């Protein structure tokens, strides 16, 4: 196993080298106010059979989980996905991946996943050369990693191994967790990110070098980059076991994700998402953007939003053919829609997990509009849900906030993958060319209690109150049928009578 | 004042230009609204048709467009809409022209076969020609108006005894929208020996002779021609578009779930039983076609067709729509087109309070349902039970009551004078 820990200091001026203590087989940090990334690499033979049996069915597997709460993302960990569990997957040609869904159920017992063939959605790739993207995608709005934590506890931690338990517990508190596997490298990589001030008083912890593994720790901070498409980090690197003390370092690398320039506080650029009330069966999603987030980082940029929609909610792509309609929603165009887009089916007949949509957003055209908040609306539609007991006729569904970002043309794209912190396979990135830089806009931090998932009330048929529907319907149809039959019978038998009485009237 | 209006509405020179003007105005207004408002005047279905026509113009299948469930002929007809610019409205103009032709056919039938003077015939054609609902639906680009012209042409051809034409129209109508097959029974029943000036059945004949007598040449011709037309069209479409044609134009209509709320009394039952929550193993709604087809295709034609074919077709269509598993307001146009043949001799006109009550109840039933639909779709309230269910059942019962009146009226009406005259002529 290879372990890499990266602490990115929030404020380099507060750092004192005494906060770092290196021994032969451990490193201790004290009170570090920093974001942290843990990067674990496992060789195939280091994995327990339960895991490699699943991986043997995959050509490529990328799992992305993001917490439902807003968090502070610090360069170079800026990229974001909608909260929940995303899976990007390429099967091996000869084997059906029948173990993948059962494995995913360890994240969330209730998730809808029958098999990759039935439930996953083939990915659309705009640029064929962008070979890093996988061929299928999956999503479910899993809120926490609690279920995964207890699975790992039970399956992989020795009951007396407190370090293992603590590590797993910490994993559960990460803001995002990535799990990557591919056949070519034949390694499993787990990456987890914690925001600064995750722990009061900063990070105070000892990390030990385990037998047969390597441990590399960086305590770094962002420096002003020399090139616009690069990031620059300075600070200390320590290879535990071979370095007796931290080594000073300064390095630059081309990066795919960049922070929006000229922003003093993320508050200035946060977006918020809400649904217009009442939501009904045709909810309208509102994305509220701060004026500063509307300033393009450079001329080649366009503002986008990427929606992740579970099967019960969908987009009618035909609505977005009309320029006037698009303009009225402050949208420019529907760039791509992929997945289950049936306009008529109820949720219970949909096998696929749902759909993704990428929109380009319109920008304010007048200076007056530029100084105010800008609201983009996206009309959505709900499918009918299963009738339910004890629901008082209302069911609840969860819709994650979409990701919002600027996408810009980059001069040099192919070198981005050389970045030690490069993160790909986020869904939307495969819809752009390889020479694209992203400037993510952070979702609003109205408070930790304000999750990045909206809950919608969906009216459903209340089974507790509809036991008489079948009888009532049959009774009404029978009544109507008999009434008409009676009229027809009377018509055939008494037709002449009618004629006679009518004749009389005329006289 | 009132009499002046009546006079105006009695003159084809006023009514036809007015009907054309009404549609032209709506077309221009619709184009204006579409160009300047994000809320479109044009019906969503029209975008389906025109998208399908665009696929056809590129040599592709119209079924590439999601929710295109119609005959490819419709997309072919609308091919000019793919030329861009003003041609986009070509289909709407075609549908509106269909309306006008249907109105003209109404007058033709009323005059030649119901013995109605021109002025009165024109007045009754206004129910269709100057009906704002009809004009709006066709100028918004819904193809229901086109269907009106097909079924009226069918009625006219039958009454004129142009059996060849009638057979082709019937076959084409069924290919176009399935439901006109119900008219086959009433037309065939109406084409009896007496009507054709052949010797009538004698009581001394054996049942087999009677049956052979029923199978007169015209009936056989009509059946054969309509069947051949229908088969040729379907085989041709299947040849061109393959299983896609069968799947979207035919199988879809038999396998659709119809779970979304609509006017049909079966609606909530279908939502319940199409879902995994279904507890009933009987699935009685799958038998819904029995009362529907029994009434619209068998009982009503047999009881009424010989009295008055036009009014019988109204009763049949009314029964078909009322008892259907899915029902939206566009379906009401299917029977509205026959109203001018029934209304003149109806108790709804001769007893104004009855007519007014029927109209008010029919509208109120829809309004009550629409309010529940609004509470569900827009406000997100769970109005399925009891209110949405109750409103659809209530609307169903109102429709049954009205249908009962129609049946009694048609049964007690005389065979229309001209139809009798014609019989006499032919016998003579």
pLDDT in tens, A155-182: 888 777 778 888 888 888 999 999 999 9
Residue A220 has pLDDT above 90, yes or no: yes
In this structure, are A283 and A147 located in the same domain?
no
Residues of chain B with C-beta less than 8 angstroms from the C-beta of A480? 265, 291, 322-323, 396-397, 399-400
Closest residue in A to B260 (Cα) is: A384
What per-residue string of b and e applies to B165-181 under the rule 16 or more CB within 10 Å gives b? bbbbbbbbbbbbbebbb
In this structure, are A308 and A428 located in the same domain?
yes
Task: Specify if A465 maps to a domain.
Answer: no
Q: Does B203 touch chain A (CB under 8 A)?
A: no
Task: Specify if A502 maps to a domain.
Answer: no
Q: Do A386 and B291 touch (CB under 8 A)?
A: no
In this structure, are A429 and A482 located in the same domain?
no
Residues of chain A with C-beta less than 8 angstroms from the C-beta of B287? none
Task: Specify if A507 maps to a domain.
Answer: no
- Residue pair A126/A430 in contact (Cβ under 8 Å)? The answer is yes
Helices (H), A173-227: none
Chain B residues 15-34 with CB within 8 Å of chain A: none
Residue reference for tokens 């037998």:
A211
pLDDT at site B140: 95
Q: Do B403 and A484 touch (CB under 8 A)?
A: yes
User: What letter would DSSP give residue B81?
Assistant: G
Residue reference for tokens 């996408």:
A407
Smallest CA-to-CA distance from A431 within A121, A63, A127 is with A127
Domain range for A341? 266-459
Cα–Cα distance, A199 to A299 (Å, whole number):
40
Give the number of beta-carbon pairs within 8 Å between A and B. Answer: 179
Q: Does A372 touch chain B (CB under 8 A)?
A: no
Q: Could you tell me the end-to-end alpha-carbon distance of chain A, in angstroms, rounded to an integer? A: 108
pLDDT at site B213: 67
Residue A365 has pLDDT above 90, yes or no: no
In this structure, are A216 and A288 located in the same domain?
no
Chain A residues 280-339 with CB within 8 Å of chain B: 280-282, 318, 321-322, 324-325, 327-329
Q: ipTM exceeding 0.85?
A: yes
Chain B residues 261-320 with CB within 8 Å of chain A: 265-266, 268-269, 271-277, 280, 284-285, 288, 291, 294-295, 299-300, 303-304, 307, 319
Residue A127 has pLDDT above 80, yes or no: no
Q: Do B411 and A328 touch (CB under 8 A)?
A: no
Region class of A31: left (phi > 0), else alpha (psi between -120 and 50), else beta: left
Task: Specify if A63 maps to a domain.
Answer: yes
Q: Do A459 and B35 touch (CB under 8 A)?
A: no
In this structure, are A286 and A168 located in the same domain?
no
Per DSSP, which regions of A371-443 are E strands?
374-379, 381-382, 394-400, 403-409, 436-441
Q: Could you tell me the end-to-end alpha-carbon distance of chain B, in angstroms, rounded to an integer? A: 47
pLDDT at site B229: 97
In this structure, are A73 and A180 located in the same domain?
yes
Among the partner residues B35, B51, B393, nearest to A472 by beta-carbon distance: B393
In this structure, are A145 and A11 located in the same domain?
yes
| Percent composition of chain A: helix, strand, coil (DSSP 3-state, to 5) | 25, 35, 40
Cα–Cα distance, B144 to B40 (Å, whole number):
19
pLDDT in tens, B57-99: 999 999 999 899 999 999 999 999 999 889 999 999 999 999 9
pLDDT band at A503 (very low <50, low <70, confident <90, very high): very low
CA dihedral B233, B238, B243, B249 (to 10 degrees): -20
In this structure, are A394 and A291 located in the same domain?
yes
pLDDT over 90 percentage in chain A: 68
Q: Do B51 and A491 touch (CB under 8 A)?
A: no
**Model pTM score:** 0.91
Closest residue in A to B33 (Cα) is: A324
Among the partner residues B257, B276, B407, nearest to A488 by beta-carbon distance: B407
Best of B275, B317, B387 to mutate (most A CBs within 10 Å, chain A)? B275
Best of B52, B271, B380, B392 to mutate (most A CBs within 10 Å, chain A)? B380
Q: Do A473 and B266 touch (CB under 8 A)?
A: yes
In this structure, are A36 and A7 located in the same domain?
yes
In this structure, are A270 and A235 located in the same domain?
no
- Select from A253, A281, A307 the last residue of a domain: A253
In this structure, are A229 and A300 located in the same domain?
no
Cα–Cα distance, B90 to B109 (Å, whole number):
28
pLDDT band at A394 (very low <50, low <70, confident <90, very high): very high
**Per-residue pLDDT averaged across B4-25, rounded?**
92
Q: Do A346 and B274 touch (CB under 8 A)?
A: yes
- Select from A227, A253, A279 the last residue of a domain: A253
Residue B407 has pLDDT above 50, yes or no: yes
Distant-in-sequence, close-in-space partners of B206: CB < 8 Å, separation ≥ 6: none
Task: Specify if A261 maps to a domain.
Answer: no
Among the partner residues A279, A322, A328, nearest to B380 by beta-carbon distance: A279
Q: Do A485 and B35 touch (CB under 8 A)?
A: no
pLDDT band at B275 (very low <50, low <70, confident <90, very high): confident
pLDDT at site A413: 65
Residues of chain A with C-beta less than 8 angstroms from the C-beta of B303? 488, 491-492
Among the partner residues B38, B275, B408, nearest to A487 by beta-carbon distance: B408
Q: Do B47 and A495 touch (CB under 8 A)?
A: no
Residues of chain A with C-beta less than 8 angstroms from the C-beta of B408? 487, 490-491, 498
pLDDT band at B317 (very low <50, low <70, confident <90, very high): very high
Q: Do B67 and A484 touch (CB under 8 A)?
A: no
pLDDT over 70 percentage in chain B: 90
User: What letter would DSSP give residue A103?
Assistant: H
Q: Does A47 touch chain B (CB under 8 A)?
A: no
Residues of chain B with C-beta less than 8 angstroms from the C-beta of A476? 265, 393, 396-397
Mean per-residue pLDDT of chain A: 90
Task: Indicate the helix (H) or strand (E) that contains A275.
Answer: strand A272-275
Q: Does B336 touch chain A (CB under 8 A)?
A: no
Among the partner residues B67, B384, B386, nearest to A344 by beta-carbon distance: B67
Task: Specify if A453 maps to a domain.
Answer: yes
Task: Specify if A500 maps to a domain.
Answer: no
Q: Do A458 and B380 touch (CB under 8 A)?
A: yes
pLDDT at site B422: 44
Residue A339 has pLDDT above 60, yes or no: yes
Tell me chain A's radius of gyration from C-alpha atoms. Answer: 29
Residue A441 has pLDDT above 60, yes or no: yes
Task: Specify if A248 maps to a domain.
Answer: yes
A474 backbone dihedrals φ, ψ, rounded to 5°: -60, -40
In this structure, are A205 and A302 located in the same domain?
no
Number of structural domains chain A divides into: 3
- Select from A231, A253, A275 the last residue of a domain: A253
pLDDT band at B424 (very low <50, low <70, confident <90, very high): very low
Best of A114, A348, A473, A492 to mutate (most B CBs within 10 Å, chain B)? A473
Q: Does B385 touch chain A (CB under 8 A)?
A: yes
Residues of chain B with C-beta less than 8 angstroms from the C-beta of A498? 408, 411-412
Cα–Cα distance, A470 to B274 (Å, whole number):
13
Residues of chain B with C-beta less than 8 angstroms from the C-beta of A460? 382, 384
- Residue pair B85/B99 in contact (Cβ under 8 Å)? The answer is no
**Per-residue pLDDT averaged across A221-230, rounded?**
92
Q: Does A475 touch chain B (CB under 8 A)?
A: no
Cα–Cα distance, A276 to B319 (Å, whole number):
41
pLDDT band at B283 (very low <50, low <70, confident <90, very high): confident
Distant-in-sequence, close-in-space partners of A159: CB < 8 Å, separation ≥ 6: none
Among the partner residues B300, B389, B412, nearest to A495 by beta-carbon distance: B412
pLDDT at site B199: 55
User: What letter would DSSP give residue A259?
Assistant: P
Residues of chain A with C-beta less than 8 angstroms from the C-beta of B288? 477
pLDDT at site B427: 36
- Residue pair B332/B142 in contact (Cβ under 8 Å)? The answer is no
């Amino acid at each position: 196993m290879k372990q890499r820990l990266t602490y990115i200091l929030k404020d380099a001026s507060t750092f004192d080298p005494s906060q770092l203590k290196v021994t032969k087989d451990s490193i201790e940090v004290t009170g570090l106010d920093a974001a942290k990334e843990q990067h674990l690499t496992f060789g195939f033979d280091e994995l327990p059979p339960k895991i490699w049996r699943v991986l043997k069915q995959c050509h490529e597997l990328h799992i992305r989980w993001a917490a439902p709460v807003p968090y502070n993302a610090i360069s170079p960990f800026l990229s974001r996905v909608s909260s929940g569990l995303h899976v990007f997957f390429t099967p091996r040609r000869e084997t059906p991946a029948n173990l993948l869904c059962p494995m995913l159920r360890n994240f969330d017992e209730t998730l809808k996943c029958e098999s990759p063939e039935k439930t996953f959605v083939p990915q659309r790739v705009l640029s064929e050369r962008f070979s890093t993207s996988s061929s299928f995608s999956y999503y479910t709005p899993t809120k926490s990693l609690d279920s995964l934590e207890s699975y790992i506890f039970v399956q992989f931690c020795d009951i007396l191994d407190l370090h293992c338990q603590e590590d797993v517990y910490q994993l559960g508190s990460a803001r995002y967790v990535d799990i990557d596997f591919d056949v070519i490298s034949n390694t499993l990589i787990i990456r987890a990110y914690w925001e600064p001030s995750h722990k009061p008083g900063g990070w105070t912890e000892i990390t030990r070098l385990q037998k047969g593994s390597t441990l590399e720790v960086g305590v770094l901070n962002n420096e002003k980059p020399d090139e616009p498409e690069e990031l620059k980090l300075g600070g200390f690197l320590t290879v535990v076991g071979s370095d007796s003390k931290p080594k000073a370092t300064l390095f630059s690398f081309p990066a795919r994700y960049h922070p929006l320039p000229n922003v003093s506080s993320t508050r200035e650029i946060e977006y918020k998402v809400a649904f217009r009330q009442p939501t009904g069966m045709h909810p309208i999603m509102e994305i509220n953007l701060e004026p500063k987030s509307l300033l393009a980082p450079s001329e080649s940029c366009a503002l986008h939003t990427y929606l992740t929609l579970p099967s019960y909610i969908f987009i009618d792509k035909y609505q977005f053919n009309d320029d006037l309609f698009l303009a009225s929603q402050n949208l420019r165009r529907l760039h791509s829609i992929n997945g289950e887009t049936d306009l008529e089916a109820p949720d219970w007949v949909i096998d696929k997990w749902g759909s993704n949509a990428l929109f380009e957003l319109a920008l304010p055209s007048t200076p007056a509009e530029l100084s105010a908040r800008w609201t983009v609306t996206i009309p959505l539609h709900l499918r009918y849900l299963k009738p339910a007991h004890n629901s008082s006729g209302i069911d609840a569904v969860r819709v994650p906030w979409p990701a919002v970002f600027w996408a810009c043309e980059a001069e040099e794209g192919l070198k981005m993958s050389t970045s030690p912190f490069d993160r790909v396979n986020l869904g939307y990135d495969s819809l752009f060319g390889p020479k694209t830089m992203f400037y993510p806009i952070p979702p609003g931090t109205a408070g930790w209690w304000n999750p990045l998932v909206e809950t919608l009330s969906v009216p459903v048929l209340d089974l507790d109150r509809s036991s008489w529907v079948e009888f009532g319907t049959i009774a009404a149809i029978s009544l109507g049928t008999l009434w008409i039959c009676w009229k027809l019978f009377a018509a055939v038998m008494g037709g002449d009578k009618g004629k006679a009485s009518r004749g009389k009237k005329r006289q | 004042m009132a009499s002046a209006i009546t006079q105006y509405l009695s003159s084809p020179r006023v009514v036809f230009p007015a009907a054309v003007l009404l549609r032209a105005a709506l077309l221009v207004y619709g184009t204006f609204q579409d160009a300047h408002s994000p809320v479109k005047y044009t019906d969503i279905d029209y975008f389906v048709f025109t998208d399908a026509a665009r696929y056809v113009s590129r040599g592709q299948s119209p079924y590439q467009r999601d929710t295109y469930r119609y005959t490819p002929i419709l997309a072919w007809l609308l091919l000019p809409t793919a030329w861009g610019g003003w041609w986009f409205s070509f289909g709407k103009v075609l549908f509106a022209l269909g309306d006008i032709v249907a109105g003209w056919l109404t007058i033709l039938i009323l005059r030649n076969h119901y013995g109605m003077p021109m002025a009165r015939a024109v007045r009754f054609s206004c129910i269709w020609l100057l009906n704002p609902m009809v004009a709006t639906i066709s100028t918004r680009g819904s193809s229901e108006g086109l269907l009106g012209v097909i079924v009226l042409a069918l009625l006219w051809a039958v009454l004129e005894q142009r059996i060849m034409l009638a057979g082709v129209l019937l076959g084409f109508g069924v290919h176009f929208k399935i439901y006109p097959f119900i008219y086959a029974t009433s037309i065939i029943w109406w084409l009896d020996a007496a009507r054709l000036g052949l010797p009538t059945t004698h009581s001394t004949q054996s049942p087999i002779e009677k049956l052979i007598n029923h199978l007169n040449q015209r009936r056989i011709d009509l059946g054969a021609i309509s069947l051949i037309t229908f088969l040729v069209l379907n085989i041709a479409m299947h040849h061109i578009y393959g299983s896609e044609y069968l799947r979207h134009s035919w199988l879809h209509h038999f396998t659709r779930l119809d779970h979304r709320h609509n006017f049909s009394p079966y609606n909530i039952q279908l939502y319940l039983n199409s879902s995994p929550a279904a507890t009933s193993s009987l699935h009685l709604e799958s038998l819904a076609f029995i009362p529907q087809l029994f009434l619209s295709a068998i009982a009503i034609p047999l009881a009424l067709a010989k009295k008055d074919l036009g009014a019988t077709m109204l009763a049949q269509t009314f029964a078909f729509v009322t008892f259907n598993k899915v029902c939206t307001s566009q379906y009401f146009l299917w029977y509205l087109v026959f109203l001018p043949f029934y209304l003149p001799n109806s108790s709804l006109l001769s007893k104004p309070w009855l007519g007014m009550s029927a109209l008010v109840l029919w509208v109120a039933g829809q309004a009550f349902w629409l309010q529940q639909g609004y509470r569900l779709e827009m406000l997100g309230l769970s109005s399925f039970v009891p209110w949405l269910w109750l409103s659809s059942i209530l609307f169903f019962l109102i429709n049954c009551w009205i249908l009962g009146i129609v049946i009694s009226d048609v049964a007690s009406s005389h065979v229309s004078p001209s139809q009798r005259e014609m019989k006499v002529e032919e016998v003579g």
